[in-house]
Amino acid sequence: MSPGAERRALQIAIAVTCAVPLSAATLSLIHGPRWLGAPAPVPTDLDSHFRYLSGIFLVMGLAFLGTVPRIETMAPRLALLGAMVITGGIARLASLLVVGAPSTGHLVGLGIELGVVPVILLWQRRVARRCGRI
C-alpha cells in the first residue's frame, strides 16, 4: 500500500472509530445515566458526575476527529489523547475484575480503549514515518 493510501486508511479508521464514543457521549449528555438502564430516580450527584465526564468524553472524541485532516503530523496530540483513553480502559478493566463484567456496550468500549487505540497510535507513527514526518 502506498504511503498516501495508508494515510487515508488511517484517517477513515479514526473517523469510524470516533462514531462510537461520540454517539455515547452525546446520548449521555442528553439523557444522563438513565439511557444505560440506571433505575429512576438517579442520584443527583451520580447524574452530575456522569454528565460532566460525558462532556469531557465528547471533547476528547472531537479532538481525535480533529487529527484526521493532518494525521501524519498529529503524534503529540494522539499520544496525549491515547494515554487518556488507555488509562480509562485500565480503570474499566479494574472495575471488570473487581465488580464484574459490564454490559456489552461497555465491553466494546474496553476493546476500543485497550485494543483499537494502541493500534491507532502505532499506526499513526508508521504513517508519519512513511510520509516523512518523523
Q: What number of H helices and E strands is found in the chain?
A: 5, 0
* pLDDT tens-digit readout, 84-133: 999 999 999 999 999 999 999 899 999 999 999 999 999 999 999 999 87
Query: 27 lies in which domain range?
Result: 3-130
* pLDDT tens-digit readout, 33-62: 998 888 889 999 999 999 999 999 999 999
Task: Give per-residue burial for 34-62: e unless 16+ CB within 10 Å, then b.
Answer: eeeeeeeeeeeeebeebbeebeebbebbe
- Overall domain count for the chain: 1
